[in-house]
C-alpha cells in the first residue's frame, strides 16, 4: 500500500493514525464483538466515544462552561439555514461579512429565512469585486471596514474561504471581526477550525463541517453559548432548534456515530501531536513552504490574495496560460493529488489542513520550484 | 476476534462482508492511495461509488424513471420537518396515520410546520389507546379504518414502528394504506426498507434512515416522484428543498461519503444474497423462529401485538414480572446483545434486520425455549 500526498479541499486528508485505529477495530470495537457503527447510540460503549470527543474539544479549545458542544448533521450548508431559523424574528436583522463564496451562500439562506419571518439580512462588509454572478475576493476586510448594526441579531463571518483562499486571523492585521457589544458573533470555521487556538468566549456560535480539519464528512461541530441557544425560536421544527440537541447531548435522534468516532480519533491525534500549539506550528511551516515557492517564482506563480489575508489552509495560485493542466498531471505523477482549483475560479489550490504532513508541503514546494524552472 | 449476535434496534448489525470490504480498503481505496473518506466528493473515484449505490437501489427496488433516488442527512427525524416544509402551503392540510411513536413524532413536526404556514396536520387514523402521554399501540389499522381527506397534500404512513413492533405489509390483511387518487402517499420506511419488494410507483415519497437495514447512521435514502419534488415550495432554505438535492444528484453540498460508501457495500451484499426475494425469505425465516418461540410458550412470553400487525423486523414481548433483566443478562452471556426493549415501553425487543443471520434468530429462539423451561 502506498499513500498519496493529498491536497484536496475537503473531504481531505485524515491522519494516518486515526484511520489505522479505525481499521484495527472496524469489526470488533473495544472487545464488544461488533463495529462501533453497529452499536446502539444509547449504549454505554458508544456514549463513551461520544463524550470523549466532546471532552477533547473542550480541552483543546478551552471551551468555557457556558458554551455547548454539539454534533449535528447536514454540513455547514445546513447551518446557513438553521442559524437564521433560530435567531431571526419579525423586524429583526442579521449582518453578514462576505469574503468569498461560502459567506455568500450563508447570506443567501439568511435572506430566504428573513423573508419567511419578515426580517432582514444585510451585508455588513464585503470585499467582493466585479459585476458578474461570480464576484472576485482577494482579501479580508480591515477591522475598521466592518460596520455591524448595533441592533443586529447576530454578525456572521466566514473565517476562511476555501475557494478564494482568503482567511481572517492568520495575520494580526486581519483579525476575525469583533461584533458590537451584545451582538453575538457567529462564525463559519469549517475550513480552519482547530488550526490554531482561538478564544471561544468571543463567539456566540461557531460551526464547522468536519471534513476539512477534524474528520469525515457528515458531522458538523457547533459551539454555542447557552443563553443564545435558549433565546432561539420555539415555533420552528424541533429538529432545527439548537436547544433540542443541546438538551439531549446531541443524542436527540441517531447521530452519525461512525463519523463522530472518527472525529474522536482525529482529536486524540491532535492532542497527542501537541494540541493546537502543535497544529499551529505545523500549519505555519507548511504554508511558509508553499507561499515561499510562490514568492520565489513571482513571474511564474501568481497568488491573487493580498498578503495579510493569505489563507494558511487553502493556497490558491495561477500559472502562465496553458500550464495548469500540466502542473496538475505532473504533480499527480509525483504522488501529489487534489491540486486542481475549484471549478468556479480555476487555477491551482493546495489545501494544507491539519492532517497534511509538513514533508508533503515541502515536497510540493520543491516540485513547484522545479516546475517553474523547467517551464518558466 | 469474536463477533456477537446483535439484535439492536438501530444502529444495528451490518453484513460482515460489507464491513470486511471497508476494512480491506480503509487506507487505500481502489488503488487511489487514500481512504474513500479522504476523496473529494467531486472526484471520479467517489462519484463512481455514489452512482453505484443509486443504481443498486434502482435495480433492487425497480425504481421507475419518474422517481429520484436521493441521499440526504439528518435522519428520518429531519424528514419529519422537510416533508411539510416542502409541501404545505397556507390553507393546505396533511394527513397522518399513527401506529406508534415515530408516526407521532412525524405528526408533531408536521403540526409545527403547519402552524408556520397557516396549514393543518390531521390524524387520518390512529390505533393508539390510553390517555397518558405515552399511548399504547398494538396493531396497524385495517384499510377501511384509514380515511384520508381527498384534499390532503399528502398522506403520511410509518410502515414499521420499531418501538411498538407494529408493521404494515407483513400480513396481507394489513397492507400499507393507499391514498385517495391524486394524493401522494408518503412513507417512513426507516426500519423496514428493503426487507421485501414493494411497488415504488404507489408512493409519492419514501424515506429511510440507513441505520437499520442498509448501512450506518448519518445517511437517509429518499425515493421521490419527480413531479412531487418539482411541486415543492421555493421560498424555504435551499438546503431543505428536495429539488436542490435532486438537481445535484445529492451532491449539492458534501454528502456523508463514507456512509454512502458503506450503503453501497451493503446493497452489493443484498444483491449478491438473492436481492429482495432473498431478503424476504431470510427475514420470514428469522421472524418465524422467534415468534414461534413466543407462541410455543404462551403462558411465559407475551407479544402484545395483534397477529396481523406483528413486525418482521422488531419483535417485542414481555416476560413474567422480574425475569426480564435476567433474560437480557443470560442472553448476553450466550453472545446475544441488544435485546432490551425501548426505555419508553420496557420489555424485550429482538430486532431482526437484514444483516442478522438466520442462525442468530434460531439461536435466540432456542435460548428463549430453554429460558422459559428453566424459569417458567
pLDDT value for B1: 58
Count of beta carbons in the 10 Å neighbourhood of residue B345: 18
Q: Residue B353: give the domain boundaries.
A: 275-375
Question: B364 in a domain, yes or no?
Answer: yes
Pick from B291, B363, B375: which is nearest to B326 by CA?
Answer: B375
Taking chain B (376 residues) in runs of 10, the rounded mean pLDDT of each run is: 91 98 97 97 96 98 98 98 98 98 98 98 96 89 92 97 97 94 96 97 98 97 98 98 98 98 98 98 98 97 97 98 96 97 93 98 98 96
Question: Contact B76/A253, CB-based, under 8 Å?
Answer: yes
Sequence-distant (6+) residues with CB within 8 A of A168 are A99, A140, A157, A159, A160, A174, A175, A176, A177, A309
pLDDT value for B376: 87
Question: Contact B19/A32, CB-based, under 8 Å?
Answer: no
Q: Which of A222, A245, A271 is the last residue of a domain?
A: A271
Question: B202 in a domain, yes or no?
Answer: yes
Question: B40 in a domain, yes or no?
Answer: yes
pLDDT value for A273: 96
Question: A71 in a domain, yes or no?
Answer: yes
Residues B90 and B126 in one domain: yes
Contact B114/A at CB under 8 A? no
> Measured between alpha carbons, how far is A150 from A183 in angstroms, rounded to an integer?
7
Where do we find the cell 475598521?
A: A144
- The SS3 assignment for B245 reads helix
- Category of B311 on φ-ψ map: left (φ > 0), alpha (ψ -120 to 50) or beta: beta
Residues B195 and B339 in one domain: no
pLDDT tens digits along A155-197? 999 999 999 999 999 999 999 999 999 999 999 999 999 999 9
ipTM of model over 0.90: yes
Question: B7 in a domain, yes or no?
Answer: no
Residues B188 and B287 in one domain: no
Average pLDDT over chain A, rounded to an integer: 97
Question: A11 in a domain, yes or no?
Answer: no
Contact A85/B at CB under 8 A? yes
Residues B242 and B279 in one domain: no
The alpha carbon of residue A245 is apart from the nearest alpha carbon of chain B, in Å, by: 12
Residues A256 and A306 in one domain: no
> Measured between alpha carbons, how far is A214 from B39 in angstroms, rounded to an integer?
15
- Contacts by B246-249, CB closer than 8 A, 24 or more apart: B246/B68, B246/B70, B249/B50, B249/B51, B249/B54
Question: A10 in a domain, yes or no?
Answer: no
Question: Contact B240/A81, CB-based, under 8 Å?
Answer: yes
The three cell numbers of residue A238 are 424541533
pLDDT value for A376: 87
Residues B94 and B235 in one domain: yes
pLDDT value for A1: 58
Q: What is the CATH number of the domain that holds A245?
A: 3.40.640.10
Active site residues of A: 102, 188, 212
Residues A124 and A241 in one domain: yes
> Measured between alpha carbons, how far is B243 from B251 in angstroms, rounded to an integer?
12
Residues A346 and A215 in one domain: no
Residues A317 and A195 in one domain: no
The three cell numbers of residue A264 are 474522536
Is-catalytic flag, B195? no
Q: Which of B271, B301, B336 is the last residue of a domain?
A: B271
Question: B13 in a domain, yes or no?
Answer: no
Residues A246 and A280 in one domain: no
Q: What is the CATH number of the domain that holds A369?
A: 3.90.1150.10
Contact of A36 with A248, CB cutoff 8 Å: no
- The SS3 assignment for B275 reads helix
pLDDT higher than 90, residue A367: yes
Count of beta carbons in the 10 Å neighbourhood of residue B138: 19
In Å, how far are A101, B285, B288 from B359, measured between CA atoms?
A: 54, 10, 12
pLDDT value for A344: 87
Residues A78 and A192 in one domain: yes
Q: Which of A271, A295, A322 is the last residue of a domain?
A: A271
Query: Which of B8, B80, B335 has its CB closest to that of A38?
Result: B8
Number of independent structural domains in chain B: 2
Residues of B in contact with A27 (CB under 8 A): 1, 3, 16, 19-20, 23
Pairing relationship of beta strands A155-158 and A93-98 according to DSSP bridges: parallel
Interface test with B, best of A39, A85, A239, A241 (most B CBs within 10 A): A239
Contact of A25 with A358, CB cutoff 8 Å: no
Residues B218 and B298 in one domain: no
CA angle at B357 for the pair B352 and B361, rounded to the nearest 5°: 60
pLDDT tens digits along A14-39? 999 999 999 999 999 999 999 999 99
Question: Contact A218/B256, CB-based, under 8 Å?
Answer: yes
Amino acid at each position: 500500500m502506498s499513500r498519496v500526498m493529498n491536497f484536496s479541499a475537503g473531504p481531505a486528508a485524515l491522519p494516518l493514525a486515526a484511520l489505522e485505529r479505525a481499521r484495527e477495530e472496524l469489526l470488533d470495537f473495544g472487545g464488544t464483538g461488533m463495529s462501533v457503527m453497529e452499536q446502539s447510540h444509547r449504549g454505554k460503549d458508544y456514549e463513551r466515544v461520544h463524550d470523549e470527543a466532546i471532552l477533547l474539544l473542550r480541552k483543546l479549545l478551552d471551551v468555557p462552561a457556558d458554551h455547548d458542544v454539539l454534533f449535528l448533521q447536514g454540513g455547514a450548508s445546513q447551518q446557513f439555514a438553521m442559524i437564521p431559523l433560530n435567531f431571526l424574528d419579525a423586524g429583526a436583522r442579521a449582518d453578514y461579512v462576505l469574503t468569498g463564496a461560502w459567506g455568500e451562500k450563508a447570506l443567501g439562506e439568511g435572506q430566504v429565512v428573513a423573508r419567511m419571518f419578515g426580517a432582514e439580512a444585510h451585508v455588513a462588509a464585503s470585499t467582493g469585486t466585479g459585476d458578474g454572478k461570480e464576484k472576485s475576493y482577494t482579501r479580508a476586510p480591515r477591522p475598521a471596514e466592518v460596520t455591524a448594526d448595533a441592533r443586529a441579531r447576530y454578525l456572521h463571518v466566514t473565517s476562511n474561504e476555501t475557494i478564494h483562499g482568503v482567511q481572517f486571523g492568520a495575520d494580526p492585521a486581519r483579525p476575525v471581526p469583533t461584533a458590537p457589544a451584545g451582538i453575538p458573533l457567529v462564525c463559519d470555521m469549517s475550513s480552519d477550525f482547530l488550526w490554531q487556538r482561538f478564544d471561544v468566549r468571543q463567539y456566540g456560535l461557531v460551526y464547522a463541517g468536519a471534513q476539512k480539519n477534524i474528520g469525515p464528512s457528515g458531522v458538523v461541530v457547533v459551539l454555542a453559548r447557552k443563553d443564545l441557544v435558549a433565546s432561539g425560536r420555539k415555533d420552528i421544527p424541533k429538529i432545527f432548534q439548537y436547544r433540542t440537541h443541546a438538551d439531549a447531548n446531541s443524542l436527540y435522534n441517531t447521530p452519525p456515530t461512525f463519523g463522530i468516532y472518527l472525529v474522536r480519533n482525529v482529536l486524540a491525534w491532535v492532542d497527542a501531536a501537541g494540541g493546537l500549539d502543535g497544529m499551529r506550528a505545523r500549519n505555519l511551516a507548511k504554508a511558509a513552504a508553499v507561499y515561499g515557492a510562490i514568492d520565489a517564482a513571482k513571474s511564474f506563480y501568481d497568488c491573487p490574495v493580498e498578503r495579510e489575508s493569505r489563507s494558511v489552509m487553502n493556497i490558491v495560485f495561477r500559472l502562465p496560460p496553458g500550464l495548469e493542466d500540466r502542473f496538475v498531471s505532473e504533480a499527480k505523477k509525483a504522488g501529489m493529488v487534489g491540486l486542481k482549483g475549484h471549478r468556479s475560479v480555476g487555477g491551482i489550490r493546495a489545501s494544507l489542513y491539519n492532517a497534511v504532513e509538513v514533508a508533503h508541503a515541502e515536497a510540493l514546494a520543491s516540485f513547484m520550484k522545479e516546475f517553474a524552472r523547467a517551464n518558466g
